[in-house]
Amino acid sequence: MLNPVHILLTENIHPVAKERLESEGFVVDLLTHSPGEDELLKLLPNYQVLGLRSKTEISEKILKANPHLLCIGAFCIGTNQVNLKTAKSLGVPVFNAPHSNTRSVAELVISEMIALCRQLCDRNTKAHLGEWVKSADGSREIRGKTLGIIGYGHIGSQLSVLAENLGLRVVFYDIVKKLPLGNAQAMRSLSELLEASDFISLHVPETPQTMNMIAASQLKQMKKGSFLINASRGTVVAIEDLVLFLKSKHIAGCAIDVFPYEPSSNKEKFETPLQGLPNVILTPHVGGSTEEAQYAIGLEVAESFRRFIRIGSSSGAVNFPNVDLPSRPSVSRLLNVHKNEPGVLGEINGLISKAGANIQAQYLATDDKIGYLIVDIEVNDGHGLAQEIQKLSRSIKTRVVLAVPPEP
Ligand code: NAI
């Protein structure tokens, strides 16, 4: 293992990640582009940790050629670009940053509520074209209106707080029982929420249950003249049905940031049946795309790297058993990933006992395929023991952290 740990960050990841990791003593190289397979195959033998964003594909071939990788970080939300199954089978956790852009999405929704109530986008377009449309007709304040939030998770609950501060009444619907923040009120059913709200904002994940969860029958239950906002996932709203309800003016406007089909790059043409309709705000999936979010993502994944490399904590990994570990400056920590099969723990403990090492603490997390075992032992150098454990046929990866440092 290279010492200090060498980290390759690709795709112009926010410089704060490099700064933070270098301040930890790691060697960090930054690429501004997304390397292809051949380039990665050449580069990765020189690095133990890889950071990427959405464009860098990490195939089975790349992973199998580099089983020495300690961990991978997706400095974004999605992790489909990495072959997670192969990474797991090699004992490589993959981290991401699912909540660093929560506030950005909530702020966009707030701005859209005001923009919809004042037909801001249409008026702006007309003013640019030389049309002077000065009228109060149909323009309203958002104060005192009811916002219905579907999905009261990270974004939904953040939006709830911001909206109340602007004088809205907030109601929400979630399939899981959630603590209402401030004066927000949980609704017993989706129908109850649809009937009560002047604005509906969607903040649910993409699941079989949320597929087309807002279609004709739900749009019909919404108040006449109400607004729909979707910055969650494109499959949640049946777009063709929404078009009909906008044309009949039952729905007074909408703001849509996510679509059932989205262009794969800025060069591809974007098409939706919502184009050209009045009081319809269309944005190219930018709800979470702010400089602040990029900065926060840089810090979040850099911190996951630090905690995994220095302490062994895998919390936040999307393909790996999650363990949050304490630091212990007085021990050597053995970190072993193994196939989750009967008898493995007995074999490992047998080797530890044979080595005469006193165990101070032991942690284990498993999933259906692998186990992640952490053993804190009182020895000055556990490398020999780690090598013995790694020789076991069902061991996948074993390393030692000497003198697990205190948290900064
Ligand atoms: P979260 O996981 O914190 O919250 C989702 C909530 O939805 C949970 O409370 C869950 O219990 C609830 N839920 C799940 N199924 C439901 C159902 N059938 N009915 C009602 N509630 C249901 O997720 P987070 O971080 O708040 O993200 C929400 C959505 O926003 C996700 O789809 C995410 O992909 C999307 N997103 C969009 C961004 C953009 O740029 N437009 C940026 C970030 C996230």
Give the Cα separation of 44 and 201 in Å (integer): 43
pLDDT of residue 406: 65
Sheet with 27-30: list strands edge to edge: 27-30, 6-9, 49-52, 71-74, 94-95
Question: Ligand 1: does its nearest atom lie under 6 Å from the Cβ of 176?
Answer: yes
Domains of the chain: 1-101+290-320 (3.40.50.720), 102-282 (3.40.50.720), 322-408 (3.30.70.260)
pLDDT (tens digit, 9 = 90+) per residue, 2-23?
689 999 999 999 999 999 999 9
pLDDT (tens digit, 9 = 90+) per residue, 160-217?
999 999 999 999 999 999 999 999 999 999 999 999 999 999 999 999 999 999 999 9
Give me the chain's average pLDDT, please.
95
Q: How far is the CA of 204 from the centre of ligand 1 (A)?
A: 3
pLDDT of residue 141: 97
Q: How far is the CA of 156 from the centre of ligand 1 (A)?
A: 8
Question: Ligand 1: does its nearest atom lie under 6 Å from the Cβ of 174?
Answer: yes
Residue found by looking up tokens 């501004």 in the block: 32
CB count within 10 Å of CB 242 equals 23
Q: Kindly provide the residue ranges of all beta strands, DSSP E only, lying in 295-331, ordered along the sequence.
A: none
- Candidate list 99, 103, 233, 338, residue with the active-site label: 233
- Ramachandran angles phi, psi of 50, nearest 5°: -125, 135
Helix (H) or strand (E) holding 377: strand 370-377
pLDDT of residue 20: 97
Tell me the DSSP string of 175-239: SS--PPPTT-EE-SSHHHHHHH-SEEEE-----TTTTT-BSHHHHHHSPTTEEEEE-S-GGGB-H
Question: Ligand 1: does its nearest atom lie under 6 Å from the Cβ of 119?
Answer: no
Pairing of strands 49-52, 94-95: unpaired
Q: How far is the CA of 214 from the centre of ligand 1 (A)?
A: 15
Question: Ligand 1: does its nearest atom lie under 6 Å from the Cβ of 151?
Answer: yes
Q: With cut-offs at 50, 70 and 90, classify the pLDDT of residue 322.
A: very high
Pairing of strands 332-339, 359-366: unpaired
Calculate mean pLDDT across residues 136-155. 96
Q: With cut-offs at 50, 70 and 90, classify the pLDDT of residue 286.
A: very high
Give the Cα separation of 100 and 82 in Å (integer): 20
Q: How far is the CA of 238 from the centre of ligand 1 (A)?
A: 17
Positive/negative CA dihedral, 214, 216, 221, 223: positive
- Ramachandran angles phi, psi of 89, nearest 5°: -65, -20
338 is catalytic: no
Residue (of 95, 92, 20, 86) closest to 51 by Cα position: 95
250 is catalytic: no
Question: Ligand 1: does its nearest atom lie under 6 Å from the Cβ of 190?
Answer: no
Calculate mean pLDDT across residues 151-160. 97
- Candidate list 131, 206, 262, 292, residue with the active-site label: 262
203 is catalytic: no
Residue % of the chain over a pLDDT of 70: 98
Q: Are 156 and 169 in contact (CB under 8 A)?
A: no
